[in-house]
Amino acid sequence: MSERSSPAEHTPLDASFASDNVSGVSEEIMTALTAQNSGSELPYGDDAGTATLRETAREHFGPQAEILPVFNGTGANVVSLQALLPRWGAAVCTQIAHVNTDEGGAPERLGLKLLPQPAEDGKLTPESIRAAAEDLDFVHAAQPLAVTLTQSTELGTLYSVEEIAALADEAHRLGMAVHMDGSRISNAAAALSTSLGELTTELGVDVLSLGGTKNGAMAAEAVVAIRPEKVPGLSFIRKYSMQLASKQRYVSAQLNALFGTDLWRRNAGHANAQAHRLGEQLAQIEGVSLARPTEVNAVFPEVPAQIAEAIQSRYLAHVWETAPSGNPVLRLMCSFSTEDAEIEALVRVAEGAARRA
């Protein structure tokens, strides 16, 4: 249930819909990188662009917010949780959370204990947090002292504003901090027509992993300490976790181009709209249905085996699960660069297989 790739030498397939990581770099971001590539700047975040980024983060997340650029989403999540948790602490997450299933054991290898919970539609609930909290003060158990939620989720579902507020309220009532894995938070905010702050700061999120790479950046993520008092030593943890860039101005330039303008919303909005378009066209094919509604940029079509085989003969398309009918459910992702012609080409493959059935 993740982004699996076959070796390139065995599968010369079209990867256009395999992930939103397969897209290139936004033209605006590449322009920003080129503009940055002259002159000399101090390293390790003491450059002018990183100073600008700090102001950008405060505009989005409040005057107290601090932002630390990092290289990748795994680094952002691990640095955030290390800073939030004492050595005896653990983080509550869903069973299918990226931090639990797709980070190569990085949290555990760095001393973090995860407490995965069953989760319908990929979302935690106040009830699941309360269930994990039963071990609070039990000396034989790792202490559930943080909650980490993913927005949007690995199932392409969204936490509503009300759901996040309820989760944060319950977590804080139980003495837990709240971390958000926001690798696709731009897609969520675009879908919900909110600002980034309205999905985080205003709802009680303490620390955010802010995603850029899936939304048009080259290699740029960040840890945003919305409530810095919750993460003492964050900058030292970033350093010993090998996430402090020497030439940080190039990471900051990407994040400034993305979040210092409305590019983050435009890119995410396009990806979401193209996913809706793809889902609607696939659902019109006889025998095809959507396993779940398309909420952001992920489409989960349930297709007969012959259609799945036809698509997978041309495209790198992951089988996410098997439906109760026995049919495979594919996961198809759209990005900021997905074009109408690409959607039409995939739909033609599916239509052709349906006619031959």
Output the 3-class SS for 104-125: CCHHHHCCCEEEEECCHHHCCC
Whether the CB-CB separation of 37 and 175 falls below 8 Å is answered with: no
Mean pLDDT within 250-258: 98
Asked if the peptide bond before residue 152 counts as cis, ω within 30 degrees of 0, the response is yes
Q: Please count the other Cβ atoms lying within 10 Å of the Cβ belonging to residue 14.
A: 16
Max CA distance (Å), the chain: 63
| Degrees, nearest 5: CA angle 209-214-217 | 95
pLDDT value at residue 11: 54
Domains and CATH numbers, the chain: 40-261 (3.40.640.10), 264-356 (3.90.1150.10)
Does position 21 have pLDDT exceeding 90, yes or no? yes
Give the separation between CA 131 and CA 298, rounded to whole angstroms: 30
Mean pLDDT within 282-296: 97
**pLDDT tens-digit series, residues 177-222:** 999 999 999 999 999 999 999 999 999 999 999 999 999 999 999 9
pLDDT value at residue 12: 85
Does position 5 have pLDDT exceeding 60, yes or no? no
Give the separation between CA 43 and CA 60, rounded to whole angstroms: 25
Residue with tokens 């009532």: 173
**pLDDT tens-digit series, residues 66-100:** 999 999 999 999 999 999 999 999 999 999 999 99
Amino acid at 342: E
Does position 138 have pLDDT exceeding 70, yes or no? yes
Grouping H, G, I as helix, E, B as strand and the rest as coil, residue 227 is coil
pLDDT value at residue 8: 47
Q: Please count the other Cβ atoms lying within 10 Å of the Cβ belonging to residue 321.
A: 13
User: Phi, psi at residue 316, to the nearest 5°?
Assistant: -80, 100
Grouping H, G, I as helix, E, B as strand and the rest as coil, residue 215 is helix
- Report the relative pairing of strands 66-70 and 143-150 from DSSP bridges: unpaired
Give the predicted TM-score (pTM) of the model. 0.94
Residue with tokens 């590449």: 30
Amino acid at 34: T
Residue (of 134, 167, 170, 171) closest to 153 by Cα position: 167
